[in-house]
Amino acid sequence: KAGVTQTPRYLIKTRGQQVTLSCSPISGHRSVSWYQQTPGQGLQFLFEYFSETQRNKGNFPGRFSGRQFSNSRSEMNVSTLELGDSALYLCASSPDPGVAGNTIYFGEGSWLTVV
């Protein structure tokens, strides 16, 4: 099976712009979650989608949004970019998120630099 695929891998944006990141989960996985990774804060949960519905949302401002399509592919959007949004954005998918032993599979991430 192919792993979690994220595009683009690297991008540079200017403050005030908006960005859209894409994620293709592992085939058959209906849960997709997004994380922001920075050296200072580590891995922070953004949101989780299951069958096109947002089930959980982390403590991020409304500039961060996401959606999931009927084929389980997901996108996240950050509007009005700030310098502090520079980070590695990781997408993860899982087959059975309601089970404690469920394994979360991460993609390699999208590196966003805001200048």
Partner 1 sequence: QQQVKQSPQSLIVQKGGISIINCAYENTAFDYFPWYQQFPGKGPALLIAIRPDVSEKKEGRFTISFNKSAKQFSLHIMDSQPGDSATYFCAASKRAGGSYIPTFGRGTSLIVHP
Torsion of CA 27, 31, 32, 38, to 10 degrees: -120
Least spacing, CB of residue 84 vs partner 1, in Å:
17
Instruction: Dig out the tokens for 88 from the structure.
Output: 């590695």
- Binding residues for partner 1 (CB under 8 A): 4, 31, 33, 35, 41-45, 48, 50, 55-56, 90, 92, 97-109
Least spacing, CB of residue 16 vs partner 1, in Å:
29
Least spacing, CB of residue 64 vs partner 1, in Å:
16
For partner 1, the closer CB: 18 or 41: 41
For partner 1, the closer CB: 12 or 43: 43
Least spacing, CB of residue 17 vs partner 1, in Å:
25
For partner 1, the closer CB: 48 or 85: 48
d(CA 67, CA 15): 23
Q: How many residues does the chain have?
A: 115
Q: Which of 35, 37, 39, 38 is nearest to 47 (CA)?
A: 35
For residue 66, the 8-state DSSP code is E
